[in-house]
Amino acid sequence: MSERHDTAPAAVSQPTHKRRSTPPSALGEPMIWLTGGALVVCLVMIIGLVGMIITQGLSTFWPRAIERVTLNDGTVFLGVPTKTADEPPQVMYRTGNRDIGTSPFRWVNESDIESVERPEYAVMLERETWNVWLGMPDRALVYTDDGELTVAAEGPADVLAFMEENHAEARARYGQIEALKKHDLGRINRKIEASRLNVRAAELDVTREQRPGGSFGIPLFAVVVLGAGGLFGFSWWLGHHGRDEHGNLRLGGISKPVRVLRTASVFAAIALLLAAWLHAPWHDRVMTEERLQEVRAQAAERETDLQRQYDEILEEIAVLEAEDNRYRVEIVDPTTGRFSPARQIEPDNPLRLSQIVRTVDTNNMGLGDKISTFGSRWWEFLAHPPREANTAGGVFPVIVGTVMLTLLLTITVTPLGVIAALYLREYAPQGIVTSTIRIAVNNLAGVPSIVYGVFGLGFFCYTLGQYVDVGSDPSVRLPAPGWWALLGATILALIGGYAAGVWSKPIPGREPSNMNVVLKWVSRVLWLSVFISAVVLVVRTPYFTGFFEARAADGSPTFGSRGMLWAALTLALLTLPVVIVSTEEAIAAVPNSMREGSYGCGASKWQTMRRIVLPGAMPGILTGAILAMARGAGEVAPLMLVGAVKLNEDLPISTNAPFLHLDRSFMHLGFHIYDLGFQSPDSQAARPLVWTTTLLLLVIVVSLNLVAIIIRARLRARLSGSTV
């Protein structure tokens, strides 16, 4: 077998092509890093802001050590270190004791400090007035029954023990005195004021002429009764006797006249009720001099009884105050050697024990005592009214005002926004008018909030509020016959507009005729005239002189000034675009197939809206309500004009009728923060409270939003068929 040799052909070298890599820009990596970095920056800013608010807000009430500082020049003072500075090295101490003329805060160069100690018995007194006092306990004094001043305890330890033993009883007595002054005396004062206003209203009725119209009411009442009865009887006959034995109408097309006549009878019945209420001839509304004297006599008798009750409460207060004045303490300032006085004008009269809200001897406290003091300060902050120009005490009225305003705002703006969005999306013809309205709504969202405040002050407070108080100006009121003639013309226009609207609808399946188009425009014109006439009837009515005429006559307007109601309506206008836009988007997101299925099952337009569209859009509607709530809760500028005040302990809700006092001014957390930061007479003392109040506002807004978010999540889960 011959050996076989195969020779492999030489490999032919092929040209190599380097594969081009895809540039990062084509893959979008730079944009990914850019967007991710922007997200990180936003998160860091939000977390940093919230973290700073939480840290600064929580640290405000933590007890700090009290130091005795001795300077190189021999000056000695007690202070609580609150802040440091680097250039030059300085320490700011809170020294308190404003009522003896010292500065409540003091900057000290570290180079001027000779020594710093923490005395065992140094205390900080948190007082009802003049804020804090720092000193050393010296003596506890008690007045005997004979009026002699005796020393009950002497020395720091014994004085602190005396204060701990008697302070709770003294504070309870102080609270009882304040309750008698505020609640019991306040209740009697309200009754005396109501009696006085009743007499004032009777005096105004004497000067007013007899009820407008005189005997005009009797024929008017008869005409309205006959007209309403005739229309209703005729419509009933047409509806029941105008049909054959099979239930078919004997006269073709008679269903529309029946509807119009029945509606006309309803309008006539409304006019009848209005006539009976405004101009019933059987009511004697004339206030004579004899009746006025009777009213005055009854008021005088009632005020005598109320004055007797008032004096009895004053006697009870005097007994409690006499007992309260017996217990005194002397806490000495080491710088001046003076003790804390009961009043600035009585420098030799020691502080009453009941004037001390809290005694803080931080240098003797353990961790448990510090936590207890921290919790006690927080409870006071949340559950008590402010004091000392808002730089001390609590913010309970501020919390109530903020929550009530936010809830009232949400209750007001949500239905209005939903109705407006539903009409724009589902009922209004989509054209240039609707587009213009949408553009206007979007532009309203960018109007500065202070503009809404000016509008609210001018329209709600000074125009609408004044009308509620005293009615329209007498010079513009119509005479009674003319007013009733305009009312009759308005009712006829109302019936005509309704009738034109009924006949303007074409026969189902046919195109609208020219007559249908003409009747449609006639209906619109008549409805517009009805609206204008209704405004004239309300503004120029001779039958309304206001609900609070007597109080306004004495220069004390009720709704004609700033208040909770007008503030809520102003913020409702401000947040209305947010609700309209979000609701429109939610309604548009509901699939058309659901609407068509509803129509296919025989549902009407409104039934489809009520049972299909609105439930499907409810999560989006709640989203708009949440956004409106968050936007309105943080507004300050409009509230400064229409309702928010620096201090008002009278809550807009109480146990006194009418329980919800929408005419009262109120305190608001946003305005409270502004007042603490920029209007406080003691800015250094108020600065920590700015962070704490900001933290509280953040917690309230987040809590209200969480409640709405939970409701939205449950509703969304129910609509999707799942459970939460």
Exposure class string for 562-585: b at 16+ Cβ within 10 A, else e: bbbbbbbbbbbbbbbbbbbbbbbe
CATH number (domain holding residue 404): 1.10.3720.10
SS (H, E, C) 429-494: CCCHHHHHHHHHHHHHCCCCHHHHHHHHHHHHHHHHHHHHHHCCCHHHCCCHHHHHHHHHHHHHHH
What 3-state DSSP class applies to 680?
Answer: coil
- The domain of 652 spans 393-471+545-720
Same domain flag for 398 and 273? no
CA 108/CA 174 separation, integer angstroms: 38
The pLDDT value recorded for residue 249 is: 43
Instruction: Determine contact, residues 685/127, Cβ cutoff 8 Å.
Output: no
Q: Where a domain ends, among 278, 301, 336? A: 278
The pLDDT value recorded for residue 134 is: 95
The two most distant CA atoms of the chain are separated, in Å, by 157
List the structure tokens of 84: 């440091």
Distances in Å between the alpha carbon of 587 and those of 421, 595, 596, 628?
A: 8, 11, 15, 18
CA 285/CA 412 separation, integer angstroms: 37
Distance of CA 520 to the CA centre of its chain: 43
CA 396/CA 666 separation, integer angstroms: 11
CA 718/CA 616 separation, integer angstroms: 11
Does residue 381 sit within a domain? no
- Which amino acid is located at 254 in the chain? I
Does residue 299 sit within a domain? no
The pLDDT value recorded for residue 474 is: 82
Instruction: Determine contact, residues 404/666, Cβ cutoff 8 Å.
Output: yes
Does residue 590 sit within a domain? yes
Instruction: Determine contact, residues 204/385, Cβ cutoff 8 Å.
Output: no
Does residue 252 sit within a domain? yes
What 3-state DSSP class applies to 396?
Answer: helix
Would you put residue 351 in left (φ > 0), alpha (ψ -120 to 50) or beta? beta
208 Cβ contact list (under 8 Å, min separation 6):
287, 545
Q: Please tell me the number of Cα atoms within 13 Å of 181 on its side-chain side.
A: 10
Does residue 105 sit within a domain? no
Does residue 250 sit within a domain? yes
Q: Where a domain ends, among 246, 278, 310? A: 278
Does residue 485 sit within a domain? no
Q: Where a domain ends, among 278, 294, 311? A: 278
Element spanning 657, H or E: none
Element spanning 249, H or E: none
Q: How many Cβ atoms are within 10 Å of 199's Cβ, its own excluded? A: 17
Element spanning 361, H or E: none
Q: How many Cβ atoms are within 10 Å of 85's Cβ, its own excluded? A: 12
Instruction: Determine contact, residues 144/374, Cβ cutoff 8 Å.
Output: no
Does residue 575 sit within a domain? yes
10-residue block means of pLDDT along the chain (724 residues)? 49 58 65 86 93 91 94 93 88 91 90 92 93 93 86 93 94 94 91 90 73 50 58 52 47 56 70 66 63 89 94 95 93 92 88 94 92 94 89 91 92 92 88 89 89 93 91 84 85 83 75 82 90 90 85 86 93 93 90 88 87 88 88 89 89 84 91 88 84 92 86 78 46
Angle between helices 185-207 and 289-324 (to 10 degrees): 160
Same domain flag for 425 and 566? yes
Instruction: Determine contact, residues 611/599, Cβ cutoff 8 Å.
Output: no
Distance of CA 508 to the CA centre of its chain: 50
Partners of 139 in the β-ladder:
154, 330
Instruction: Determine contact, residues 105/85, Cβ cutoff 8 Å.
Output: no
List the structure tokens of 533: 């006439």
The pLDDT value recorded for residue 1 is: 43
Q: Work out whether strand 123-127 and strand 132-143 pair parallel, antiparallel, or are unpaired.
A: antiparallel
Q: Please tell me the number of Cα atoms within 13 Å of 271 on its side-chain side.
A: 29
Count of domains in the chain?
2
What 3-state DSSP class applies to 82?
Answer: strand
The pLDDT value recorded for residue 259 is: 67
Q: Which of 711, 441, 469 is nearest to 573 (CA)?
A: 441
Same domain flag for 264 and 397? no
